[in-house]
Structure 1
């Protein structure tokens, strides 16, 4: 008998030494363990998956259908496909082992978002109006953002699960009342797997409430596409165009890890008209609060407060509903800082979510 790496252990036995053995029952290895160990292992297995948003299913009747990919959740996603126009009609997944899953209707244009080696989806931005899923976007552990598929209209939700990566979907679809339109999606829940990465980048970032004018105009944007997974990129300047409403907002950034101190800008979110204003931040100064107002069509007023106790001018002279948001405290007990925004814009700024991240060291 001998042992070599990568080979079976063998022993030469004369033919007369062979005896038949009959297997009469088979038991899982797990069943050989004590009951309390079996329970602990079963609990750990169940904790591998979570549903975010939480999975709540209403009674299903005609013309609604649920498609669920939980049985594939032990696999790893390599590509997400979808069909969309102004709404999300269908979602599909291709896994690394070639298995595919699909749910939804057949309308819209076909789109794909392909992941690279070691890349996983860690956040999902969705938008639902009173009836239909209007938009979806994916963010990965490599800081890459997909396009915003569909129209960012309705109420946006940012879904993620601490330490989790997207492993599948549970989706609901409904037959459109217009003959020939087929099935459209009404909602989606992510199925998140917790055994592939120890921690997701920026999973401790916090998002403000959604601040939106009554009427929805324009197209969606997400400046996470510029920030990626960086915690060292910070705002150095805010540029505003405003009169009775906020016509546009634009941020200038610097990366603390860039020795050359180079700056870059976001696209201008909104129109080019109205008087121009500029709020420069000093070294070590960050935005920690925003107050303002919004009306029927646009945000009508903005004012920024900083960690140094300074405040910008009040931009915009419009009326409407007041709002106030402030950065929460981070794990270290210090105030977080504004890093980027998500929202919708057209001729003006129509809606916004403020994204807070931890302060620079």
Structure 2
């Protein structure tokens, strides 16, 4: 028995009497399989020796109760375009009123790194919209790290569509607006007003569906940008033109060499991987590889995991957009006519005035003639 020592021959010529060597190499010691230990990985718990005397810890419980490092994806509504934004032509004039800007973050357990977002033959990656992806063709870029951070005050550049690995511009890291500690450098007084020199600037919509206003927090933290590497894509037209509705690959990826952790690697550990603006129904199916603290990797796929692959429900997403501005609707109010969508998921009708005219001026309190010559006022 290789796990015993000090054996002797007994009177019957049997080799016996050896002391069991414990997991720390001590003959007759008490550190046996099941005993607590330290695997030297600060991100595991309940470390204990297994049957082979290997010290094994338990990784954190991740998305949907699976063990591992992916806690889920976060989709933030970053902004919703209003009429002044849509009227701007400096950004090539393709922005639609009511278009939503989404930011996608990977939320990882402490100590994990993001190594790649990818598509493979068995796991196609897709981002899709029912209309088109908006791209600011004047100053915009296909990857966030290439956006000129000194020009974020210009027209609608701050809501361009791009892929990234943390960076929201050259010199800025992207964080959820609710976590932004330093206010805003985009929108409102920080914006040039675009082609129409709008007083008060563009990107000022305060629609509650977009959360914190961009003029209050821009989701940008000063930090050197991580250079994004793209591999295997025939093109990145979905992030360079205003004609594409589908971005897909089964043989490509975007990444940063060596992988990276979030701004708070020992805490929330979140990384921005894309910003997408569209007025259509937006959906995605994403796959990614995470680096495990202490070594190794985990592959997380949107569906049909094989072998050691894992899946997470938030790797698949669908958001149905508001009907386009001007679409006929019914606001349910019998006292209105000409009901249309306002582009922000609100059906708004014109109030019938006292003469039955939609949007008319004969409202309660205005002057009229009751036909009685004996009355005034």
TM-score range normalised by the length of the shorter chain:
under 0.3
Structure-2-length-normalised TM-score? 0.23
Structure-1-length-normalised TM-score? 0.23
Q: Which has the higher strand share?
A: 1
- Relative contact order (C-alpha < 8 Å, sep 6+): which is higher? 2
* Higher Cα Rg, which structure: 2
